[in-house]
Structure 1
Amino acid sequence: MNAPKKVVLAYSGGLDTSIILKWLQTEYGCEVVTFTADLGQGEELEPARQKAELLGIKPENIYIEDVREEFVRDFVNPMFRANALYEGEYLLGTSIARPLISKRLVEIAEETGADAIAHGATGKGNDQVRFELAAYALNPDIRVIAPWREWDLTSRTKLIEFAEAHQIPIAKNKRGEAPFSVDANLLHTSSEGRVLENPAEEAPDYVLQRITRPEDAPDAPEMVEITFEKGDAVAIDGERLSPATILTRLNELGGRHGIGILDLVENRFVGMKSRGIYETPGGTILLAAHRGIEQITLDSGSGHLKDSLMPRYAELIYNGFWFSPEREMLQAAIDKSQDRVDGTVRLKLYKGSVRTVARWSDNSLYSEAHVTFEDDAGAYDQKDAAGFIRLNALRLKLLATRARRTKG
């Protein structure tokens, strides 16, 4: 295969992607364009620009973009309408960021005339799959370069030697083995590897990046009200805010109260199990709130069908199929269910827990007249239940009769 002429690299400014940048230049002799996304990871991104310039990238080929609002509006919010949880627990914080990064890589490649894109995901993880499936779905002719699957820099020592040979600055704390690796964005922080690799050992407290230990959280609970329109959070305590601002504020609340810590051994798409510590403070609150407003605005048929679709929807996102027709089909059904999911939920935050304590909506299906233990003024005739039970029991009675008849 011919060497690419120009490559758009997903670039963090860290040591690994800086090595990849230089490797692309030396291995292929190609021009490199860098793309750094501000997804709310909480790091200053200007050093990435300076590092790219130091490594010979032209200023016009350095893309640093704040995509936080797009991330929450077009990716996080649609996912939360589904109450998506992978394997019953994981809020998909890393998974949902990858299609947005891939989308911009492909768009920038088209804008700059690049014939390839590159990423820093390893050959053992899920991210390589997510980046590449998304890229091919958006441009079937794009070439994807995954250096970790190609080069012979198979140890930390070799990486450091390569960096030193090519005058790539190495921070002091990068010369040794980091105790664990971290991926972060506005939705979550993910910590994996090294000190976390043995699932029989409790994760050390220093792993936590953005959440206070529940034991150290405030002794007094705090209330918060979240307002929804068509299934999306639009206000906190009556103040309308942008999607990214809402998630930022919920992160602050959840982090302070020790909410959203998950220690999970999950099944990677590539076949192995891995252990991760996930911190999703705002997302954990948002999931509880969305469930709370759906309780009074969704009918049982819609709600139960939606819940049955959720595991498949979550698996599609985890496995990298955001831009697939089946995910879009499920999204259309989920979005239709949210037409009347409007209203406000009050939640109590306390030492690692979030609990819905009240919810109200102009679209509420809850009828006090029907459920009251007091006089319902004829709203519900209890005699009707007898026929309902008889009809539903008919099948069971026939089965029991046959079993009795054929016993022995």
Structure 2
Amino acid sequence: MSGIKKVVLAYSGGLDTSVIAKWLMETYQCEVVTFTADLGQGEELEPARAKAKAMGIKEIYIEDLREEFVRDFVNPMFRANALYEGEYLLGTSIARPLIAKRLVEIANETGADAISHGATGKGNDQVRFELGAYALKPGIRVIAPWREWDLNSRDKLLAYCDQHGIQVEKKRGTKSPYSMDANLLHISYEGDLLEDPAAEPEEDMWLWSVSPENAPDTPTYIELTYEKGDIVAVDGEKMSPATVLAHLNKVAGANGIGRADIVENRYVGMKSRGCYETPGGTVMLKGHRAIESVTLDRELAHLKDELMPRYASLVYNGYWFSPERQALQALIDYSQQYVNGKVRLKLYKGSVAVVGRESADSLFDANIATFEDDAGAYNQADAGGFIKLNALRLRIAANKGRKI
């Protein structure tokens, strides 16, 4: 790419993005703006500012996006009950459109010509970042160093740091051998031992949850209050979206909840084994389906379930800003207008059980559903005609001798 004078880099302050910052300056002879997002990963972010300054970077953005992340990205996704391939709660996937959005906004604010990221050419994140950026600013240029350079090993990256005087932690020490990504919704683990799908994860790998075997012997009960499909209070205490998720992470993790070990199909074509901890999200999904069970019309609930895999794939593959995702979201959000009430859950040794649900908007009618005398609320004789009409096509086919 020619004519690039300024680039906005998604910057963590770690080895890869520190090298990328300097590499962009050297390769493109351009100014670099760094953007570091606090999405609840639980790390101190100010050191990233010092590292960026040490490399001569003048425009440094470090932003707390936790509330926006949960309010505008996590919560809408959980209204859809989204699960990718039946297991993955999309913790990494849902963070990428927000980062892409801010990269583009900062590019507009600073007059940058391009954005850059540290995603590799083998992963999904490159797709998610770039699809989001192009949807929001079609003419933006994207620099993906891992698709350009030959610094394809840790040793080469460290040698580059030595050559250019970049200060990074060079000793592995007690640092995890896994490639990890964390935000307020989850933490993921890939690489090292996990590259063998037959190998059981080491217990000390998990950071957010105790093992179910070591969880308390006494269950924990919690009550979630919902308004239009979103949790607004826990145990009667009103909380902001990010505070809700942080609290549920702590409570659920302490009860051994939220671990997943998955071999998933990446959008770029390969299968990948990953382990995930999503304690709060696991509770959120269980609670949301419970409140929907009493407040949603049957056919609307079934329609949502039919659309959910498509919605989950759109999030996983990076199409958050696509018209089809937004159209699905409009339907989903419309469905949530009566999803109000309370759900009680029991957390115990890795499991989440629904033990109660109540709502002023409930469609459950005990007078009709009862096994006792319903005082004429439901005429059981009507069921005979209903069954015969629904059996008509089956009886006709059988009379014609068609095999089942």
Task: Report the TM-score, using the length of structure 1 for normalisation.
Answer: 0.97
Q: Which residue of 2 aligns with 1:285?
A: 283
Q: Which residue of 2 aligns with 1:29?
A: 29
Does the 8 Å contact 1:160/1:175 carry over to 2? Answer: no
Q: Please give the alpha-carbon distance, in whole angstroms, between the structure 1 residues aligned to 2:394 and 2:310.
A: 31
Q: Which residue of 1 aligns with 2:185?
A: 187
Does the 8 Å contact 1:133/1:320 carry over to 2? Answer: yes
Q: Please give the alpha-carbon distance, in whole angstroms, between the structure 1 residues aligned to 2:49 and 2:291.
A: 43
Q: Which residue of 1 aligns with 2:260?
A: 262
Does the 8 Å contact 2:158/2:170 carry over to 1? Answer: no
Q: Which residue of 2 aligns with 1:55?
A: 55
Corresponding residue SS for 1:173: coil
Cα drift, residue 392 of structure 1: 0.4
Structure 2 CA distance for partners of 1:257 and 1:45, relative to 1, 3 Å: same
* 2:85 is the alignment partner of 1:87: yes
Q: Please give the alpha-carbon distance, in whole angstroms, between the structure 2 residues aligned to 1:379 and 1:300.
A: 19
1:349-383 per-position Cα deviation (integer Å, ceiling 9, x unaligned):
00000111100000000011111111101100100
1:189-219 per-position Cα deviation (integer Å, ceiling 9, x unaligned):
0000111100011011121021111111111
1:149-176 per-position Cα deviation (integer Å, ceiling 9, x unaligned):
0001112211110011111123143499
Q: Please give the alpha-carbon distance, in whole angstroms, between the structure 1 residues aligned to 2:366 and 2:153.
A: 66
Q: Which residue of 1 aligns with 2:194?
A: 196
Q: Which residue of 2 aligns with 1:65?
A: 63
The one-letter amino acid paired with 2:182 is A
Corresponding residue SS for 1:311: helix
Cα drift, residue 40 of structure 1: 0.1
Cα drift, residue 316 of structure 1: 0.3
1:33-87 per-position Cα deviation (integer Å, ceiling 9, x unaligned):
00000000000001011111111111xx000000000000000000000000000
Does the 8 Å contact 1:156/1:177 carry over to 2? Answer: no
Q: After TM superposition, list the pairs within 5 Å mapping 1:269-348 onto structure 2.
A: 269-348=267-346
Structure 2 CA distance for partners of 1:85 and 1:381, relative to 1, 3 Å: same
Which deviates more from structure 2 when the two are superposed, residues 33-42 or residues 3-12?
3-12
1:299-349 per-position Cα deviation (integer Å, ceiling 9, x unaligned):
110000000000000000000000000000100111111010000000000
The one-letter amino acid paired with 2:115 is I
Structure 2 CA distance for partners of 1:177 and 1:164, relative to 1, 3 Å: farther
Q: Please give the alpha-carbon distance, in whole angstroms, between the structure 2 residues aligned to 1:3 and 1:176.
A: 43
Q: Please give the alpha-carbon distance, in whole angstroms, between the structure 2 residues aligned to 1:36 and 1:91.
A: 24
- Say which of 77, 85, 107 aligns to 2:75: 77
Structure 2 CA distance for partners of 1:124 and 1:228, relative to 1, 3 Å: same
- Say which of 166, 172, 181 aligns to 1:168: 166
Does the 8 Å contact 2:7/2:113 carry over to 1? Answer: yes
The one-letter amino acid paired with 1:134 is G
Corresponding residue SS for 1:7: strand
* 2:15 is the alignment partner of 1:19: no
The one-letter amino acid paired with 1:22 is K
Q: After TM superposition, list the pairs within 5 Å mapping 1:136-147 onto structure 2.
A: 136-147=134-145
The one-letter amino acid paired with 1:10 is A
Corresponding residue SS for 2:138: coil
RMSD over aligned CA atoms reads 1.4
- Identity, % of aligned pairs? 68
Corresponding residue SS for 2:129: helix
Structure 2 CA distance for partners of 1:94 and 1:301, relative to 1, 3 Å: same
Q: Please give the alpha-carbon distance, in whole angstroms, between the structure 1 residues aligned to 2:200 and 2:356.
A: 35
Q: After TM superposition, list the pairs within 5 Å mapping 1:99-118 onto structure 2.
A: 99-118=97-116
Corresponding residue SS for 1:8: strand
Does the 8 Å contact 2:129/2:318 carry over to 1? Answer: yes
5+ residue gaps in structure 1? none
Does the 8 Å contact 2:186/2:276 carry over to 1? Answer: yes
Q: Which residue of 2 aligns with 1:157?
A: 155
The one-letter amino acid paired with 2:12 is S
Q: Please give the alpha-carbon distance, in whole angstroms, between the structure 2 residues aligned to 1:173 and 1:98.
A: 29
Structure 2 CA distance for partners of 1:176 and 1:66, relative to 1, 3 Å: closer
1:4-29 per-position Cα deviation (integer Å, ceiling 9, x unaligned):
10000000011110000010011111
Cα drift, residue 177 of structure 1: 9.4
